[in-house]
A and B are shown apart, each in its own frame.
Chain A
C-alpha cells in the first residue's frame, strides 16, 4: 500500500519562512506524480494552492510556492501570516489512483 508522508506539525513565526515536505513510499516524487497542495482551515472545505508541483491557482497568495527537491514535493511559505495557520495536505497521482499525505498542522506563533 502506497503511503505519502508529511510532517505532522510545524510552527512558524509571523513573517517567517517554513517548508513543508511530501514524500512517497514508492520513491522520488517527480513531476510525473503531479503533486498538489491544499490548505484546510477548521470547519472549512479544502482549498487548492498548488498543482503539478509548482503551478499556482489564480487565487493562491504569492507567499506560497511549490517545488520538487531531494525527491520530495515541497511547499514553501515565505512571510507567514496569522491567517496561514491551517492544515496542509499534499496529493500524489499514481497513474489513476491518488493518495493524500497525512497532513501537516501549521501553527503561526
Chain B
C-alpha cells in the first residue's frame, strides 16, 4: 500500500534552516509528481511546492519562493524540502502528498500524516 512518512520537523529559531524529508513506498515513486502542503495551527491548508516526476519542473507558492527548495531522489524514493530563512509564519504541520502520475489529471491522492515545524525564538 502507498505510504508517505515525513521526518525532520522540530523547533527552530527564526532565520535558521531546517530540512524535511518524506520517505515513499508502495508505488513507483519515479513516475509521480510530489507535493508539499502545510497547515498552520488552527488554519486551512496551504499548498507549498510541487516537483515533477523527473525533477525537471518545480513550482512554489509565493510565500516560500526564494527560501524553500524542493528536491527528490528517485533512487532512494525520497522527497525533501530545504527550508531556509525561516519565519514564525512558517510554523505549521507539513504534509507530503503524492501528485499525478505522468500524463494523468492533476491530483493529490495520498498524504502522509504530517510533521510539525515550529519557528520560535
Flag if B105 contacts A52 (CB, 8 Å): yes
Contact with B along A87-102 (1 / 0, CB 8 A): 1010101001111111
Flag if B45 contacts A40 (CB, 8 Å): yes
Flag if B106 contacts A51 (CB, 8 Å): yes
B interface majority secondary structure: loop
Interface size class of A (residues with CB under 8 A): 20 to 34
Interface status of B44 (Cβ within 8 A of chain A): yes
With A45-B111, A46-B95 in contact, is A93–B106 under 8 Å at CB?
yes
Flag if A99 contacts B112 (CB, 8 Å): no
Flag if A98 contacts B47 (CB, 8 Å): yes
Flag if B45 contacts A38 (CB, 8 Å): yes
Interface status of B50 (Cβ within 8 A of chain A): yes
Interface status of A55 (Cβ within 8 A of chain B): yes
Flag if B105 contacts A51 (CB, 8 Å): yes
Flag if A51 contacts B44 (CB, 8 Å): no
Contact with A along B47-59 (1 / 0, CB 8 A): 1001000000101
Instruction: Show 19 residue pairs from A and B whose CB-CB distance is below 8 angstroms, ordered by the A residue.
Output: A34-B105, A36-B106, A36-B108, A45-B95, A45-B113, A46-B37, A48-B108, A51-B107, A55-B105, A91-B47, A91-B108, A93-B106, A96-B59, A97-B47, A97-B60, A98-B59, A98-B106, A100-B37, A100-B44
Chain B residues in the interface with A (C-beta under 8 A)? 35, 37, 44-47, 50, 57, 59-62, 95, 105-114
